[in-house]
Chains A and B, each alone.
Chain A
């Protein structure tokens, strides 16, 4: 790719939810665009498109990242997990993960727009810190805004998932 002067038709090979995928993107597409429009994975949401809200959060090599702040061309070679990848037992007919169930059980979902990003940020937190304190959950989710302002139940859901995992 060195010295390239073209602006589109960049081939990008990524692993998404465990499967190898190749897409062709233009330089101005973000990873979020590629996931939603090229790969039909519409779980990740676009809202602020400037890193403030976390609705677009995915895991890149296991770490939470705002996919609106990653260029699609930059992601060649990355291992990406989206909210669609949390289901167990395969995308079709699979089961929600324990963390996702905890969100439902605690009634943490209102309009639901922020939830995929919240769940991915929470998953990244739990991967690193399986038994977080409430303040650690709040810090781990500080990059995710919920316009319905259901923060307390969201924090409760993460704590419940961590507890069940004990």
Chain B
């Protein structure tokens, strides 16, 4: 690791001071470190300053309901997100997606915001965040702004994060009517492996929404308003046709995890499975509170 200095600000104000006073070198926020420290070890990331965001008194970890939204504070671990009854009730696909990230050890440290800010094309929570219209809250000395995750992630390792800014939370609008959602993921093996492809499906009364990960530079979302996918009496052939059209935006690449052709073919297979899983999912509107 190339030497850097470590800072542990106690408030957002101190964090902005650090970000604004940074010299020409790079300054990097740190939450779970499961991406950052791997990057530091390999020398891919060479910051001058690492700023630990886990001790800001005005940004404690946690999940709270604010108006009609569920707000997940940046330092919250994936383990805590998976364990939250509200997330599992309202956003089951997000809970499912988060529980496939790495291993228990990784999820105990990794944050949702870190997963987004790292902007891997295969980041597993991407499709679930997109189908649920998740928004990233960004803060800097100049104030706050909210950017949909779909717009925040620009491409591989590129986000709309500006100099002097950090992500403070992720917000998800609580659905008015319960949604049937599912997550599907293809890996080479069970256990610690990045996704060959992943997708999420939400079936509403008429609209069916899909989001896909690992098959384009960034995850993307597509809606079917024809009603074919939501209609239990539609034929498998008609459903396949709609699914094929929905995956037209995919531009999978060939890499160690799979060939482009294989990914393209599996999109349809996993799409069918996710649709069936979402449609058969019992809907529950109130968190049960029990784990």
Residues of A within 8 A of B (CB): 1-8, 10, 26-28, 30, 49-52, 54, 57, 60, 63-66, 68-71, 73-74, 76, 121, 124-125, 139-140, 142-144
What A residues does B37 contact at CB under 8 A? 30, 68-71
CB <8 Å contact, B8 and A51: no
A27 CA to B40 CA, complexed, in Å: 11
Partner of A143, one of B2, B3, B106: B106
- The verdict on A65 contacting B109 (CB below 8 Å), with A3-B17, A3-B18, A74-B33 known, is yes
Q: Nearest Cβ in chain A — how far from B227, in angstroms?
A: 38
Residues of B within 8 A of A (CB): 1-10, 14, 17-18, 21, 30, 32-34, 37-38, 40-42, 50, 52, 54, 79, 102-106, 108-109, 190-192
CB <8 Å contact, A27 and B50: yes
**Residue in chain A with minimal CB distance to B77:** A63
Q: Nearest Cβ in chain B — how far from A24, in angstroms?
A: 13
- The verdict on A73 contacting B6 (CB below 8 Å), with A50-B41, A142-B191, A142-B192 known, is yes
- The verdict on A140 contacting B4 (CB below 8 Å), with A50-B38, A69-B37, A70-B33 known, is no
CB <8 Å contact, B6 and A4: yes
Q: Nearest Cβ in chain A — how far from B208, in angstroms?
A: 30
Q: Could you list 6 examples of A-B contacts with CB < 8 Å?
A: A6-B5, A50-B42, A69-B34, A124-B104, A142-B104, A144-B103
Give 14 new A-B contacts, CB below 8 A, not counting A57-B105, A63-B79, A74-B30: A2-B8, A4-B5, A4-B6, A6-B5, A28-B1, A30-B37, A50-B42, A51-B103, A69-B34, A69-B109, A71-B6, A71-B33, A125-B104, A140-B104
Q: Nearest Cβ in chain B — how far from A86, in angstroms?
A: 17
A51 CA to B6 CA, complexed, in Å: 21
Partner of B105, one of A49, A71, A121: A121
